[in-house]
Chains A and B, each alone.
Chain A
Amino acid sequence: MSGMGILKGLSVTFKHFINSYVADLRFAGKKYLGQQQFEKRQGLQAEGIFTVEYPDEKLAVPERFRFVPFLVVEDADHPERPNHDWCTSCGICAKVCPPQCIWIVRGQDPNTGRPVPEPEAFFIDIDICMNCGFCAEFCPFDAIKMDHDYEMASYDRTAVHIHDKARLSKPLTYWRSIAPTTALEEATARGGWEHPDIIKAMKKAGQTPAAPTVENARAFMEKTKPAAPPPPAPKPAPAANAPVVQGEAPAAKPAPKAEAPAAEAPKGKFDKQAMLAKIRERKANKQ
């Protein structure tokens, strides 16, 4: 009979309509309160509306969730090397980065001029970053990790969207709290919770680093749980980025190069203006 198909379809719509109320009533007042209710609403049994009302409510992201990378540094209370970088400036992340948004300046010993295993500067342009996670995946020192902080919108991309080392650095504790399982896997692969170099040195000296176990990972989680998870390293004021991006608002000033403060580039190491000029020259020659 003509019309039956439409009625059949409408019955499905009607079921959805009713269910959205039934589900709301069933969870009235405790929509997001209990873990069980929450899981039911967000799980495969969900019926009715299971929209999360961002930004008033936010879903927790899974461990492997990847957003803009951050650099792992030792905790501030580390006995030997507080706030020390895990990064050894080997450059693999910069090479493996598909959109090439990582810039590293390798550290040098001021006396000998030899390279030291520590980046002098580290930049990530988060406008270019495509959040692929290769840097974290291929870093041999577990020193760069993908963050979970996805709320990075700002009114001025030229001021705060290039993250420098201060902005990027976050303590190991932070990584262990946002990705406990992954951190444990990595520590197991390294042979201890410490930086691979320290583990190597300890083994050389005949010491055995404390083996990472599920228990001490859990203990760590318990320790950090009651309080809010440790905050990321304090965000520096936008001015902290100034040496890099100052005077570089190109839309307003298409040719600002002459007055850009060359003095702010570190002397004797790298001359940014010279490099830009060189690249421009190459561009001009190619045509």
Chain B
Amino acid sequence: MDKPLELKTGTIADAIAALKEKYPGAVKDDSRQGYSGIVVDKSKLVEVATAIRDELGFDYLSSATGVDYFGISDHMEVVYHAYRTSGGAALVFKAQTGRENAEIPSLTPVWPGADFQEREIWDLYGIKFPGHPNLKRILMWEGFAGHPMRKDWKEAYYEEEHKPFGSRWPGGWVHRAEELNVYGHNVTYPADLDLSKLNDASEEALYSGMGLGVNVTQLDDETALKVDRLVVNLGPHHPSTHGVFRMVVTLNGETIELLEPVMGYLHRNHEKIGERNTFLHNMPFTDRLDYIASMSNNLGYALAVEQLLARGARWQPPSYRAEVIRVLMVELTRIVNHYWAIGFFLNDLGAFFTPALYAIAEREKILDFFEATAGSRMMCNYMRFGGVFKDIPERIRGVANLLNDQVRDFNTMDYLTELINDRIPRSIDELDRLLTDSEIIRSRCIGVGYLPPEMAVAYSCAGPLLRASGVPYDVRRAEPYSIYPELDFDVAVRYNGDLYDRYLLRLDEMRESVRILKQVLPRLEATKGQNVFGPAQHTPRVPVGESYGRVENPKGELGYYVVSNGIGEEASKGPQNPWRYHVRAPSFINLTALGAMCKGHKVADVVAILGSIDIVLGETDR
């Protein structure tokens, strides 16, 4: 570096100005309507990114994702959102490339957290990242034809570019997907692919990187133990993997030498579905990402689209009561999630189902409230752009009908008050008593799966994983949304970065959530009767532009990168469908650090370390 960048203030504008001054020509403003940030020439990308990290202090790469502007400007770009771990807004920078032979230099040397995200971009967009150590497909399988997120790639059951599909109305006789899409013709393979070899080829590519191939006979007779390394597959079908998740590990004896996560077994191309959908259609789909925490998934998406809608003329922001209810729901969700995470973490340690069922039983009380309010226990679909679906009901009441005769009937506010002031704190204390001092748990957890803070930041870890390593980074405080600025709570943080601290941190966070909820209750009383949702718009037209909405999900930072754009007239009217809908999934990105955390531990610890990250495969695989 010849001359260090000088910053007068910490603002984003100042940072951009400094970059433009240092790299004239290579750094330009993104001047498209509704867009922000800078476009970096790809030949200088690594250099600029290093300056952004080291000199401007944006040490945390939150999200990297591709966008295909096929039909608009016929280029592809990769969008990066970098943050300072001390808080504040994002520095958004982009690198552009042509659609043919697309290439953008890899940023894994700068931010190791870009690893999985760049693999995902390669997989779904076909952008190559020279400099990436392990550029393989991650969600699709090796040998899949094409890159499915490209705009000109059509799925086997393709009907139309956008929903709503014309065949539904006014002359919409029913047809099944499989009538259009006959079995045996629903997948296309590359022309040169030998189907009979499919498994071998993709597995070979995987195993070749696993450090096998020690010739036992050549080992020194005197000193070396005559064992080869052993490759073991943990999963995809295994109770400890929290779903269909697979870890390929190289063992030396019982010690992990290398671990490679293999995922995508639950992949459904959520993002492609999201681009076919209208903006509103995506709301119930977000429930299915992290299905333990659907309420906060809803909120993140609502925030992203609201940022876009707010640029339009007819926008009404959510009322105060709507915001209060949102926070109520989201914090209850956090408690639900941590009950679940702690319960199943103990399962992974071998305390089979006793703690898990105690935790789930408590969770059920919160889900009863969700069901009465949103209509569903887990697939809540509760937030809307500009509010929430409906106000909380006066009574939590079952209705007798043909199926059921026993009814429950509680006053909602009484129920909530008792839940928050009494039941939840009591059960958290009980979990604490049950687990925290247990010698077995302490000896299994303390010092295992250590993740140093600088590594946690570099790997873009988020949520409890990051905070248990001593980085007090919480989106609710770093870039506050909703009514969090007026609420009094602390960012829970622990400093040892091992399994035990991650467990303790989740307990701390639940207590902080209870503290928030206690402040929410009087606000709920005070705002009774206020409207929670403006005039319902079923297919809103959304102003052109990009937005990144992020929330502190129980599992970490959940971000939605939404681009509203279209071809020709569609863009000028305001599109009804997102051009790009990307989910920055905390479960997915937190796994980047799994390999590093497991190295040197035993097989049984791998299961516990995975449990301590707390992943949900609905979100990991999308």
Contacts and interface: CB of A to CB of B under 8 A. Distances in A.
Interface of A: 2-6, 8-9, 11-13, 16, 32, 35, 38-39, 42-44, 50, 57-66, 89, 91-92, 94-98, 100, 102-106, 115, 121, 123, 125, 128, 130-134, 137-138, 146, 148-151, 162, 177-181, 228-229, 231-232, 244-245, 248, 250-251, 254-255, 265, 269-270, 272, 275-276, 279-280, 283, 286-287
Contacts of A162: 174, 176
A251 B184 CA distance: 10
B402 interface: yes
Q: Closest 4 CB pairs between A and B?
A: A60-B398, A5-B437, A103-B172, A132-B284
B183 A251 contact: yes
Given A8-B437, A96-B539, A64 B175 contact: no
Interface string B524-547: 000000000000101100000000
Interface in B584-611: none
Contacts of A255: 182
Given A64-B372, A131-B376, A32 B175 contact: no
Given A9-B433, A96-B539, A103-B173, A60 B168 contact: no
A63 to B, nearest CB: 5
Nearest to B400: A60
Given A32-B406, A250-B176, 13 more contacts: A12-B433, A58-B405, A61-B404, A64-B371, A89-B169, A104-B172, A105-B170, A106-B170, A137-B389, A250-B183, A251-B178, A254-B183, A287-B188
A152 B183 CA distance: 26
Given A8-B437, A133-B381, A96 B538 contact: yes
A134 B442 contact: no
Interface in B159-176: 159, 163-165, 167-176
Given A9-B438, A250-B183, A270 B171 contact: yes
B331 to A, nearest CB: 18
Nearest to B176: A248
B393 A272 contact: no
Nearest to B379: A131
B415 interface: yes
A137 B182 CA distance: 34
A98 B307 CA distance: 22
Given A6-B438, A254-B184, A275-B173, A228 B284 contact: no
Nearest to B397: A62
Interface of B: 154, 158-159, 163-165, 167-180, 182-184, 188, 277, 280-285, 354, 358, 361, 365, 371-376, 379, 381, 389-390, 393-394, 396-410, 415, 418-419, 422-423, 430, 433-442, 536, 538-539
Given A59-B406, A64-B373, A12 B175 contact: no
Residue in A8, A42, A60, A130 with the greatest tally of chain B CB atoms within 10 Å: A60
Nearest to B180: A279
Contacts of B188: 287
Nearest to B163: A100
Nearest to B437: A5
8 contacts: A8-B438, A44-B422, A58-B403, A95-B539, A102-B169, A103-B172, A125-B176, A245-B176
B471 to A, nearest CB: 29
B440 to A, nearest CB: 7
Contacts of B282: 98
A133 B440 CA distance: 47
Given A91-B169, A132-B284, A280-B180, A229 B402 contact: yes
B375 A133 contact: yes
Contacts of B354: 13
A42 B168 contact: no
A105 B620 CA distance: 40
Contacts of B422: 44
Nearest to A151: B403
Residue in A35, A134, A181, A272 with the greatest tally of chain B CB atoms within 10 Å: A134
Nearest to A280: B180
Contacts of A44: 365, 415, 418-419, 422-423
A39 B174 contact: no
A230 to B, nearest CB: 9
Contacts of A269: 171
B361 A6 contact: no
A106 B179 CA distance: 23
A276 B178 CA distance: 11
B158 A180 contact: no
A228 B404 CA distance: 11
A180 B409 contact: no
B423 to A, nearest CB: 5
A179 to B, nearest CB: 7
A9 B437 contact: yes
A91 B169 CA distance: 6
Residue in A9, A128, A244 with the greatest tally of chain B CB atoms within 10 Å: A9
B402 A64 contact: no
Contacts of B442: 5
A228 to B, nearest CB: 7
A177 to B, nearest CB: 7
Given A6-B438, A9-B437, A94 B169 contact: yes
B407 A60 contact: yes
A94 B403 contact: no
B179 A250 contact: yes
A96 B171 CA distance: 17
Contacts of B430: 12
A217 to B, nearest CB: 13
Contacts of A65: 371, 375-376
B154 A286 contact: yes
Contact of A94 (B168, B184, B281): B168
Nearest to A279: B180
Contact of B402 (A11, A92, A138, A231): A231
Contact of B439 (A2, A12, A115): A2
Contact of A248 (B179, B394, B419): B179
Contact of B408 (A9, A42, A275): A42
B168 to A, nearest CB: 4
A63 B418 contact: no
A131 B440 CA distance: 44
Contacts of A244: 173-174
A138 B538 contact: yes
A245 B390 CA distance: 37
A53 to B, nearest CB: 12
Nearest to B422: A44
Contacts of A91: 168-170
Contact of A9 (B165, B285, B372, B435): B435
A43 B536 contact: no
Nearest to A3: B439
B404 A62 contact: no
B399 A61 contact: yes
Nearest to B441: A5
